[in-house]
Amino acid sequence: MKQYVCQMCGYIYDPAKGDKKGNIAPDVAFEDLPDDWKCPLCGASKSKFAPMVEG
C-alpha cells in the first residue's frame, strides 16, 4: 500500500502502521480512511495529502 505525505507539515501516513491517535488500525489504505480523518500532527484534511514519490 502506498504512503501519503501531508503537504502542510510533512507527516507520512504509513498504511502498515495506521494512525494510533486517530484510532486507525494497521493495514488501512489511505483511500479507505474516513472522509473526516485529519493529519494527527497539524489537523490538515485528507485533501492536503499527496502520494509519496518513490525513488
Quick count: other Cβ atoms within 10 Å of Cβ 19?
Answer: 19
Q: What's the grid cell of residue 11? A: 507527516
**The pLDDT of residue 55 is above 70:** no
**For 36-53, how does the pLDDT look when each residue is reduced to its tens digit (9 = 90+)?**
999 999 999 999 999 998
**The pLDDT of residue 16 is above 70:** yes
Give strand ranges (E) for 1-55.
4-6, 12-13, 49-51
Give the CATH number of domain 1-55; options: 3.90.850.10, 2.20.28.10, 3.40.50.970, 3.40.50.10490. 2.20.28.10
> Is the pTM for the entire model greater than 0.85?
yes
33's CB contacts (< 8 A; 6+ apart) are: 13, 24, 46
Q: Tell me, what's the pLDDT at 53?
A: 86
Q: Please return the burial class of 46, using the count of CB atoms within 10 Å of its CB with bins 0-12, 13-18 and 19+.
A: middle
Q: Are 39 and 48 in contact (CB under 8 A)?
A: yes
